[in-house]
Structure 1
């Protein structure tokens, strides 16, 4: 009976969320201080070079630019649609009176009363809503980039507007992809929290595995850091 008390949910689930938050704070600090040690930092530098090249060779690469941005927008749209569908399904479950709101009562560790079930579903729903919000803003910025990147002779601008430059377009592009990345990470966290329905222990194990996998994907091996840094630095 001890494993079915509420303190498991009050300790293990916040601990898992704090672990994920600390990892992303560490990732943010590494991107800011040592960008070439992370995949996000290297990709950011590469995207700025790509935007600059697409603007300079606009008359040759305008179709390639539009197709690339269209593919990114389609991916963000798919994620936003998936979040909306999950939110609708969770809202339907919360408002229903079926026994599905109490799955496997005898096997669930931690609290599984009416209030606990409501807190679980509302938390998951909130995560997916924020993920949808990030993807929607990402689509907005990427659509602006698709228009501005095809302006001929952006530097110098024919109208003499010093604010509309390739650097400004790069910043919009970075904001759009940053929001897309945040939306994806929230989506991953939402899937981990969905295991909370079956108990807090599964949430902690899922987040632990996710953090280890993301660390492997987000950071560049030390052996290739200097090579990539020297190559990108020379181009910048």
Structure 2
């Protein structure tokens, strides 16, 4: 569901950017602006095309992720007895599942990397603020916290009755 939502959002943003590009872009004086905060026609076109490409690649990664995960959903339920001529090894299904998750992660990273670039259209200050805001988000996505095994033992152990009362 997450890949489907992100793929839909990516292609929706691509459609919006393509509509903006096709209706307002005309190149008359290229290469006369600076990169930071430039609002000339060439730099705006460069910003829009960059965003369009990143969102398209994000859509492609999410679509491929959906494809791999759907294939895993079918293959995981295949019976593994001798009556089937072509056996599907569990390692192959695990490999497909891993590919689907990796493509989902890459698609999410591309989508999140495009957010500061989307704000680049309005100026460099918003890019900086969005980048600073993304650092704790990426930290929480990337860091795996290890829990102490002894935490659930002793006085803090939850019984079945405690669990049912919650």
* Bucket of the pairwise TM-score, normalised by the shorter protein: 0.7 to 0.9
Partner of 1:202: 126
- The CA distance in 2 between the partners of 1:79 and 1:185, in whole Å, is 11
SS at structure 1 position matched to 2:24: coil
Give the RMSD, CA atoms, in angstroms: 2.1
Unaligned runs of 5+ in 2: 26-35, 150-166
TM-score by length of 1: 0.53
Q: Of residues 57, 62, 67 in structure 2, which corresponds to 1:130?
A: 57
Unaligned runs of 5+ in 1: 1-73, 99-108, 228-236
Structure in which a larger fraction of residues adopt helix? 1
Partner of 1:220: 144
Question: How many correspondences in the alignment?
Answer: 139
Larger radius of gyration: 2
- The CA distance in 2 between the partners of 1:85 and 1:79, in whole Å, is 10
8 Å contact kept, 1:83–1:128: yes
Report Cα offsets for 1:96-148 as digits up to 9, x if no partner: 139xxxxxxxxxx6211100110111111111000000011111111211111
TM-score by length of 2: 0.74
- The CA distance in 2 between the partners of 1:159 and 1:97, in whole Å, is 59
Greater relative CO, 1 or 2 (CA 8 Å, sep 6+): 1
SS at structure 2 position matched to 1:198: coil
Q: Of residues 45, 67, 92 in structure 2, which corresponds to 1:168?
A: 92
